[in-house]
Chain A
Amino acid sequence: MYKSHIRPFLLLLFSLSTLSLSFGQGSADGDPVAGEKLFNNNCAQCHAYDAAVVVGPGLKGIEERRDYDWLKAWIQNPAAVIASGDDYAVELYEKYNKTQMTAFQSFGDEEISAILAYVKQANEAAPAAAEADGGAAVAAAGDSGNGKVFNVILVALLVIMGLVLLALLAVLNLLNQLNKGDSEVIDTRGIGQRVNDGLRSVFQNATVRNAIIVLFLLFGAKATFDGLYGIGVHQGYAPTQPIPFSHKLHAGEMEISCAYCHTGVYKGKQAGIPSASICMNCHNTIKQGSPNIQKIYAAIENDQPIEWVRVHNLPDLAYFNHSQHTAVAGLDCENCHGEIPQMEVVQQRHSLTMGWCIDCHRETDVNSKGNAYYDALLEAHNAASSENMKVEDIGGLECARCHY
């Protein structure tokens, strides 16, 4: 129910762009698909694949600028290259506010060439990607519009109901008068008085009164019922954090990949809250003076981790694994967390109730493409049904998927 109709669309766009990327020929012998992942997880927070400057220089045309060996040496240990007095390196260092790039010692030839291949290919495919982005934005806008339409309809319905009620009262009043047989008598009461009297007579009617009492009780029961079920649902929860970290700035404007800080999101059950050391990758040079950044420094010096407040709390009885939904299902973080890149303060956008999970499992297609795990299942499903294979169809509604 929840905005699910845009998901397939996004998925389609996503897969289309990936497809177009994978058909482009990389110059280096690296694997651009692997490279994309590496790039997003490691480089994207400081570098753009195009010419734009983020923290460090844009990487468009990097292979023309420097040769492979230099790049390799630089990526693996930039400090050493600077220390060796390499002109280009020193210049770069000076140019970018003496911000030293993080060393990626674990990167070998395979990784580096993959990243380079991706950078190259991404620049070639940039127009297509831009189009895809635009499409997604439109879809998102349409979605929020839908919500408004729904609200408008609701209000309109209420107004109509009110009008009907008034009409009914008028009819009742008329009937009442007819009944009394004094219709010929000219009603000398003012219109306000008449409505007032009419209402009073209506409310004095035992049946109407009883009906109202019953209705009131029913609504009360419904409200209590909803209220009780609402216990523990904290939709819209947006606690104040010890450091007013802005996702809007970091994830939105800076376009830092979620996985850069939330390291576990593609790997494990928990996405993880970044350790102070991750903050320090950038903030040991950027905005050192900010009082809030100073808090990170203080934390490290005092050996006292920052106590963030959890925003999204699932009960412990529910097992939720991030990697299943990100790495396997290919869902975007926004699916469950809302438009984080636009949030100054992170807020729990969805109810996170079981019903919410179930709804999504009922309506979401299994990301089975290219995953050999699903091959046989898909075949069996397609043989029996013309609809897409939903999560529900592969047991996504079974209890022990989440509760054990």
Chain B
Amino acid sequence: MAHKKYILGVFDDEEEVMHAVSDVRGQGVKIHEVYSPFPIHGLDQALGYPRARMGVPAFLFGITGTTLAFLLTFWTLGWDWPMNIGGKNFIPFPTNIPIVFELTVLLASYGMSFVFFGMEGLSPVAKPVIFDKRITDDKFVMAIELSKNSASEKEIADALKGSGASEVNIKEI
């Protein structure tokens, strides 16, 4: 497989990288991704990403949990094996509400998290592309894939330098 060539602009400050993003994008350069040691608010909008809608899977999984919990409690004690428990009705309502709540939360949180892991390809066996080891320390890296841009390597590197990158590196992956 052919290696892809990336031009990396390394920044020292989150504000600089924010400015750089609009700068670089303004010059018509397609940014592959911006990496940072911590979340930078507004960066995703600046990069033109759609809003992260993690609430959708959370809601779907949550509603699944609610349904499952109701079905489980009603079916087991109401239909499968009704038992006289302390003179109460066979169907455990509303005494099943805590169960329903807990299962809703459990499924929502795990479902959402696993969807997140899946979307980001996070898994213990994942082989991440690390452009710069300092990303997780104190550097902010803007990666630009050369092949996806019409501009030349030099142009892009200059653009990066111009918007405040402390270094510009090139990496083939």
Contacts and interface: CB of A to CB of B under 8 A. Distances in A.
B95 interface: no
A383 interface: no
Contacts of B83: 397
Contacts of A210: 123, 125
B81 A206 contact: no
Contacts of B126: 206
B103 to A, nearest CB: 19
A397 B123 contact: no
What size tier do the contact residues of chain A reach?
A: under 10
Interface in B36-91: 81, 83
A210 B126 CA distance: 11
B163 to A, nearest CB: 36
A397 B90 CA distance: 14
A397 B81 contact: yes
A364 B83 CA distance: 19
Contacts of B123: 206, 210
A64 B70 CA distance: 74
Contacts of A206: 123, 125-126
B78 to A, nearest CB: 14
A206 B122 CA distance: 11
Interface in A190-232: 206, 210
Interface in A262-310: none
A206 B125 CA distance: 9
Contacts of A397: 81, 83
Interface string B98-131: 0000000000000000000000000101100000
A397 B125 CA distance: 50
A174 to B, nearest CB: 21
A210 B83 CA distance: 42
Interface string A373-404: 00000000000000000000000010000000
Interface in B116-158: 123, 125-126
B87 to A, nearest CB: 14
A210 B125 CA distance: 10
Nearest to B82: A397
B80 to A, nearest CB: 10
Nearest to B126: A206
B126 to A, nearest CB: 8
A206 B81 CA distance: 43
A212 to B, nearest CB: 13
A210 to B, nearest CB: 7
Nearest to B84: A398
A206 B123 CA distance: 10
A397 B81 CA distance: 8
B83 to A, nearest CB: 8
Contacts of B125: 206, 210
A75 B89 CA distance: 61
B152 to A, nearest CB: 26
A370 B142 CA distance: 90
Contacts of B81: 397
A148 B123 CA distance: 46
Nearest to A209: B125
B67 to A, nearest CB: 21
B116 to A, nearest CB: 15
A397 B83 CA distance: 9
A397 B126 CA distance: 52
Nearest to B121: A206
Nearest to A358: B81
A143 to B, nearest CB: 26
Nearest to A210: B123
A269 B126 CA distance: 64
Nearest to A207: B118
A343 B81 CA distance: 36
7 contacts: A206-B123, A206-B125, A206-B126, A210-B123, A210-B125, A397-B81, A397-B83
Interface of A: 206, 210, 397
Give the 7 A-B residue pairs with the shortest CB-CB distance, closest first: A397-B81, A210-B123, A206-B125, A206-B123, A210-B125, A206-B126, A397-B83
